[in-house]
Amino acid sequence: MLSQLVRWRVQRAYLALGAGDAEPAINAFAADGRFVFPGSHAVAVDCHGREAVTEWFRRFARLRPQFEVLDVVAAGPPWDMRFAIRFRDRIGNDYENEGMQFARMRWGRIVFDRIYLDTQAVAKWVDDHPGQWAA
């Protein structure tokens, strides 16, 4: 049941990102939430707080990424829940990746979220699309 609820919320946020709407993803974060997208490229970030999370997700939503959720697992009580998602994502016709997301939630709000994926594929996309990630 818990995994199904998390799957529903994740799919809703992923679908919204694909439609250019970052708000469901942003609203999932606690005011002091932390988001990490690793790598040595323009998309990489380690941000703290809703303002920084908002800026990153709004930029990301403009790319209209398409996601396929492959697996969702969730565990823990509502005040200390953890979940992991395995996904595939695509931007346009020349970027595809597969990765995982690990997050911690307290009372339905994300306090920590880290993405694990092929960062070299992201770096190549950034190099091949100069200006796409620009503010």
Q: Per-residue confidence at 135, pLDDT binned at 50, 70, 90? A: low
The 10s digit of each residue's pLDDT in 94-134 is: 999 999 999 999 999 999 999 999 999 999 999 999 888 87
The 10s digit of each residue's pLDDT in 46-96 is: 999 999 999 999 999 999 999 999 999 999 999 999 999 999 999 999 999
Say what percent of the chain tops pLDDT 90. 87
Q: In order of start, what are the domains of the chain with their CATH numbers? A: 2-128 (3.10.450.50)
Determine the pLDDT at residue 134: 74
Sheet of strand 29-37, all strands in order from the earlier edge strand to the far edge: 45-48, 29-37, 109-117, 95-106, 81-91, 66-75
